[in-house]
Amino acid sequence: MTHSLPWWTDAVVYQVYVRSFADSDGDGLGDLPGITARLPYLRDLGVDAVWLTPFYPSPQHDHGYDVADYCGVEPLFGTLEDADTLIATAHELGLRIIVDVVPNHTSSAHDWFQAAIAAPPGSAERARYLFRDGAGTDGAEPPNNWKSVFGGDAWTRLGPGEQWYLHLFDSSQPDLDWRNPEVGDLFEGVLRFWLDRGVDGFRIDVAHGLFKEASLRDQRRPEKPAKTADSMVERVLTDEPMWDQPEVHEVYRRWRRVLESYPGDRMAVAEAWTQTPESMARFVRPDELHQSFNFAWLSAAWSATAFADVVRDTFAALEEVGSPPTWVLSNHDVVRHVTRYGGGAVGLARGRAATLAMLGLPGSSYLYQGEELGLPQAAVAPEFRQDPLWVRTGEEGRDGCRVPIPWSGQAPPFGFGPGTEQPWIPQPADWSGLTAAVQQDDGDSTLAFYRRALAIRRDLPRDVIDTRTVQVRTEGDLLTIDRGPLRILLNCGREPVSLPSGRVLLASATLEESTLPADAAVWQST
């Protein structure tokens, strides 16, 4: 076993959605002391690091991704001292801490935006954001045809006769103008603030945003949207003057220098929804970021060839830049994978199988809180939905994957907080069988399965990270990956398949007479 690789190369990182993890003060909202108290659970689960979603002062229009002050703590979640305690406790337990940084936009409550709307057009205050005059008569039309990710126009007008400002997300999230050097300086200060407090890394929100094509020209949109192709090779690329501009990479070169000026292996991971594996790879060139989320794995259909294509395309793109891969199945923005894979017993079986395949791959894996309990997407009644996507469009939105964790007990709030106060979104009453407490004592539970997988994973040889030595093949619905002495088999078909010879290290389902059932995966030592 070699320890020369930096920790993040093959780390398992657990994402904590701060408002939904654990509530210490009984107000129905998760908070920092709640997380600190549950860190031993994460140590026992066997993860290497914890990524915390934004806990900074924020009006919470997008649950913290609307930051009003990058160097503080939202009072609903605790204090700066609570953040220090969390970081120190994590380090004592051998866990690293990654915090979120949100550089594409601020909250409209940020001092800068408040100063901008108080200042006249053309002022230095407005030049930190993307204010423009409108088009059409009296400037009554938005400056271009861009749409917000959360629906509707990406522009909001300050008032009649006034300018418009760009927001690729909610109108409470004005986009910064990264061509203004003040913006880069602000964020260097933010990184240093949290690095000085001891964090081990950053997750960079909308990392592919930041720069827009300078002309702010219209987006060319085909009349008929192209069909989504399964294989990434056939993919039809969209015209995106608002995303993934070449200038963004200079920002990450600067951030890399900042990170390297600190002791320890401080790192950063990009949330970049790029269109191709090659564009993902550009974020992790040797002088840029350490990792980028590989959303292709999360987006793959339940098929051996789809998974094999993702693995091969990922390896090929990353080998060009010499960077190790990352893998992810769920996060706070997508439908939980148990439900994506069909829900019920089949969804859970497939979810466990895809997890085992993922955790066996070289590189780093990101887990989302609650997936270790096999939580499905929850149905959230309209009156409880808070996602700005729902508010702006009436689409169901992302609240169903953000329901608070059921820790213990027979009825909501399932130990989420100290009392009987109900959490900010109700938990389904039938989650009593899914609590951490119930699964803790059940050797066949999904929690026990994750723990075993992570424990075995820790003992795998760490030097087998070179993706060029990994063999990926499919035979019908069976995916086989050979990585050094580890063989991963994933059966995406409807029939059991017979297992090749080899010692079984762990299976996602019960194996009978050396066959691998449908919707199951196994690790073998060859």
Residues annotated catalytic, as ranges? 205, 271
Taking the complex as a whole, how short is the minimal distance between the CB of residue 333 and ligand NOJ, in angstroms? 5
Residue number of the CB atom closest to Mg ion: 31
- For 36, phi then psi, to 5°, come to -55, -45
The entry of Mg ion, ligand NOJ, none that residue 25 binds, CB within 5 to 8 Å by partner kind: Mg ion
In the complex, least distance from residue 102 CB atom to ligand NOJ, rounded to whole angstroms: 6
39, 45, 47, 53 alpha-carbon torsion, rounded to 10°: -50
Report in angstroms how near the CB of residue 149 gets to ligand NOJ at its nearest.
7
Please report how close the Cβ of residue 510 comes to Mg ion at its closest, in angstroms.
Answer: 40
Distance CA(11)–CA(28), nearest Å, equals 31
By CB under 5 A, how many residues form the interface with Mg ion?
5
Q: Which of 27, 84, 240, 333 binds ligand NOJ (CB under 6 A)?
A: 333
Question: Does residue 62 interact with ligand NOJ by CB under 6 A?
Answer: yes
Interface of this chain with ligand NOJ, residues 302 to 331, rule: CB under 6 A: none
Verify binding: residue 421, Mg ion, rule CB under 5 A.
no
The 10 Å Cβ neighbour count of residue 241 is 17
**Neighbour order of strands in the sheet with 478-483:** 471-475, 478-483, 486-491, 520-525, 503-507
Nearer to Mg ion, 25 or 84 (CB): 25
Told to check if 65 binds ligand NOJ by CB under 6 A, we report yes
Binding mask 215-234 for ligand NOJ (x = CB under 6 A): --------------------
Q: Token digits for 149?
A: 């990710």
Q: Please tell me what DSSP assigns to residue 129.
A: B
Nearer to Mg ion, 23 or 519 (CB): 23
The 81-120 site mask, x for binding ligand NOJ (CB under 6 A), equals: ---------------------x------------------
Binding partner at 65 among Mg ion, ligand NOJ, none, C-beta below 5 to 8 Å by kind? ligand NOJ
Q: Does residue 74 touch ligand NOJ according to CB under 6 A?
A: no
Instruction: Determine the Cα–Cα distance for residues 357 and 372; give it in Å rounded to an integer.
Output: 15
Tell me how far apart the terminal alpha carbons of the chain are, to the nearest angstrom: 18
Q: Which does 177 bind (CB under 5 to 8 A by kind): Mg ion, ligand NOJ, none?
A: none
CB-nearer residue toward Mg ion: 31 or 125 = 31
Q: Crossing angle, helix 446-458 and helix 32-45, to 10 degrees?
A: 70
Q: Which strand (E) or helix (H) includes residue 478? A: strand 478-483
Site residues for ligand NOJ, 257-276, by CB under 6 A, read 271
Is the distance from CB of 506 to CB of 493 less than 8 angstroms? no
* Amino acid sitting at position 230: D
Structure token pair of residue 89: 């406790």
d(CA 64, CA 55): 6
Name which of 62 and 200 has its Cβ closer to ligand NOJ.
62
In the complex, the smallest distance separating the C-beta of residue 111 from ligand NOJ, rounded to whole angstroms, is 19
Cβ-count burial of 29 within 10 angstroms (0-12 exposed, 13-18 middle, 19+ buried)?
buried
Question: To the nearest whole angstrom, how small is the minimum distance from the Cβ of residue 365 to ligand NOJ?
Answer: 18
Identity of residue 191: L
From the list ligand NOJ, Mg ion, none, which binds 317 (C-beta under 5 to 8 Å, kind-based)?
none
Pick the binder of Mg ion from 25, 188, 333, 421 (CB under 5 A): 25
Separation between Cα atoms, residue 42 and residue 258, nearest integer Å: 29
CA–CA gap between residue 422 and residue 516 (Å, rounded): 42
Residue 333 partner contact from ligand NOJ, Mg ion, none using kind-dependent CB cut-offs of 5 to 8 Å: ligand NOJ
Measured distance CA(271)–CA(290) in Å, rounded: 12
CB of 23 to Mg ion, least distance (A): 4
DSSP designation for 371: G
| Count of residues interacting with ligand NOJ (CB under 6 A) | 9
Q: Does 396 bind ligand NOJ (CB under 6 A)?
A: no
27 touches, from Mg ion, ligand NOJ, none (C-beta below 5 to 8 Å by class): Mg ion
Token digits of residue 526: 């060859």
Q: How far apart are CA 252 and CA 207, in angstroms?
A: 9
Crossing angle, helix 80-92 and helix 32-45, to 10 degrees? 10
Residues 6+ apart with CB under 8 A from 147: 153, 154, 219
* Residues composing the chain: 526
Alpha-helical regions (H) of 373-517:
388-393, 436-440, 446-458
Strands (E), 249-311: 267-270, 291-292
In the complex with ligand NOJ, the residue whose CB is nearer, 39 or 204, is 204
Given 13, 18, 22, 29, the residue binding Mg ion (CB under 5 A): 29
Q: Which listed residue (23, 31, 205, 399) binds ligand NOJ by CB under 6 A?
A: 205
Q: Which is nearer to ligand NOJ, 255 or 368 (CB)?
A: 368
Select the residue whose beta carbon is closest to ligand NOJ and give its number: 65
Among 17, 169, 297, 390, binds ligand NOJ (CB under 6 A): 169
Interacting residue with Mg ion among 12, 14, 16, 23 (CB under 5 A): 23
By beta-carbon proximity to ligand NOJ, the closer residue of 148 and 364 is 148
Spatial CB neighbours of 268, under 8 Å, sequence gap ≥ 6: 201, 202, 203, 204, 252, 255, 256, 259, 289, 290, 291
Going by C-alpha positions, the residue among 526, 367, 524 that lies closest to residue 451 is 367
The region of 21-29, 63-71, 299-307, 515-523 touching Mg ion under the rule CB under 5 A is 21-29
- Contact residues for Mg ion (CB under 5 A)? 23, 25, 27, 29, 31
- Contact residues for ligand NOJ (CB under 6 A)? 62, 65, 102, 169, 205-206, 271, 332-333
